[in-house]
Amino acid sequence: MGEIYYNPWKSAYKSPFGAIQEGQSARFGFLGADSGIDQVYLVIEPEGQKAYRIKMTPQENGFFQTEFAFNDGKGLYFYHFELEYLSANQQRFTRYYGWSGENGHGEVRDYLKECMNYQVTCYQKAEKAPDWYRQAVFYQIFPDRFFNGNPDGHVNNPKENTFLYGDLRDDPMYIKDAQGEILRWDFYGGNFAGIQAKIPYLKELGVNALYLNPIFEARSNHRYDTADYLKVDPILGTEAEFQELLDTLHQEGFRVILDGVFSHVGRHSRYFNYDGAYGPGVGAYQDIKSPYFPWFTFLNYPNEYRSWWGVKDLPEVNKENEEFQRFIYGAKGVLSKWNQMGLDGWRLDVADELPDEFIAGIRNNLDHYEDKVLLGEVWEDASNKVSYGIRRQYILGDHLHGVMNYPLRSATIDFLMENCSPEDIALVFTRLQENYPREVFYNSLNNIGTHDTERILSQLEGDYEKLSLAFALLVTFPGVPCIYYGDEAGLTGGKDPDNRKFFPWGRVDETCYRECRKWLALRKENHLLQGGEFGLIYSERLLGVLRYDETHFILTVLNPLGVEVIVSAKDFAAFRELPLTRERLAKLLEGQRIRAHGSYVIEGELSE
């Protein structure tokens, strides 16, 4: 058999690389040098529509080529190739070439049902985020667990039937009943004044933007059980204190985004009012004539109702209810109230639970202001995500600017714990780079830990050198880095609530802090790490993260192994064409010793 080959990661076979804007064309090339191939067809199908079967034009040396215009609207386009053979006795038969499921190259199949399609993401418009966002370094704060700014340490407005820890060094815990429901919520007393008091610490660390977990009135410490969208939680402070915090942060050069929890509310909210705390006749549970009653879906009124993942404490809201939509993103709604106070954006909790039209409504509200960003909590590849049987439009235009980069966290841990190879990492992110529109790829909110995950230092089994490499990946990959409070201080912890300890003021681990600050400073000082082009090189033992523009580059080489590695440039490979040739790599890296769990950073001009 002669050579048969296609790889969309190589410019000879597909150009441009990656996602395509609606109305633009792409060139497809195919090598069909196998004897007997008479014709090659590109078969491409806009999802849910009729497929196109396009005869490719023969070129020299068994190469075939065609162009395709993406004129059938935004969405996913799936394609493969039909290889039409003409045998020696003039008999025709067809074979099929599709994605191998591994890297960019494909494989020949005898039957169409065995052929796996390639994907092209077609987007409506480039999602350019505000300039400040691309230059930001975020710090995620779980407000109750950061700092109490009251001089005497008193807790603002303690809640009924809760408990306060006697020592801020105590580990968090839940008090649950036999059914697993939390009986009493626990609090440490962090507040708005505490965040304001620690602005100097945050500036010294090297961050310039805050992502705050929910701050609205709620019963729990995490506040994902919103009780009143129009009020801040009194235990955090007053609305005036929040405004003062915002103003001070802006004066100090910070930006602030809030967690928007619009999929569900708290059972004890004024909208549901399970226990009647907001008065008789208030809330859907108390009265079917309540204006909030249509917000909820009761299966058997009042005790059986839809809730988020079956959690009875979190009644699910009907996002298709027009009154709820107006309440959240209408001209006088929730978003407008807080946006007008100076918020810089929102992160949408559980975006999978929000219909595309609802997200578009939120985006439309934010677009009435300057420089506001909209991010979504999506844990997987957002380009082809399906939730509740519907293909999502998160990143196709007029929805999200970007999503949380949980794939980076997963890959970081697997890589540093030697559960995957450098080549595996390169595969994951070349595929993600291919599937995302360029702007969206660079708008990702990178993380190596959040309030929903185990602490990164615990995942790395307490290894500080591996933690330094995790910080390196966080800041050198495309996207905007976000530090989860305390990760820079050496906090450890397993699953919730252990990952939500109080910040260890006075006990900050200087090694962790120093490494985090070092890598954040590198990103701040190097514009290529904020917006440069991206590529990965890999060998059996090393991973190289390359960022570059037309003239300059910065290359970060990481050694995840517990032994020193001496670099041999000939061992490096890449899935895509990159501007650093093997000869140039040899001059830059040949013989360089990279210590166990170490890194090597080199900057320079692309041309010698």
**Catalytic residue ranges:** 349, 377
CA–CA separation, 25 and 179 (whole Å): 57
Q: Where are the beta strands (DSSP E) in 417-476?
A: 445-447
In the chain the first and final C-alpha atoms are separated, in Å, by: 42
Write down the residue that tokens 């890598």 correspond to. 519
Burial class (CB in 10 A: 0-12, 13-18, 19+), 150: middle
Give the contacts of 602 (CB within 8 A, at least 6 positions apart): 554, 555, 557, 588, 589
Structural contact between residues 103 and 9, judged by C-beta atoms closer than 8 angstroms: yes
Q: Phi-psi category of 276—alpha, beta or left, where left has phi over 0 and alpha has psi -120 to 50?
A: left
Q: Collapsing DSSP states into helix, strand and coil, what is residue 209? A: strand
520 to each of 131, 136, 213, 599, how far by Cα in Å? Answer: 18, 10, 22, 15
Q: Collapsing DSSP states into helix, strand and coil, what is residue 260? A: strand
Torsion sign over Cα 349, 350, 352, 354: negative
CA–CA separation, 41 and 460 (whole Å): 49
Write down the residue that tokens 């935004």 correspond to. 74
Closest CA to 197 of 148, 140, 156: 148
Q: Count helices and strands (H / E) in the chain.
A: 15, 35
C-beta atoms surrounding 379 within 10 Å: 17
Instruction: For helices 464-476 and 510-525, give the axis angle rounded to 10 degrees.
Output: 20
DSSP letter for each residue of 157-190: SPPTTEEE-SSTTSPP--EE-TTS-EEEEEE---
C-beta atoms surrounding 4 within 10 Å: 20
Closest CA to 263 of 168, 174, 350: 350
Tokens read off for 529: 């790490």
CA–CA separation, 469 and 269 (whole Å): 43
Closest CA to 78 of 124, 46, 40: 46
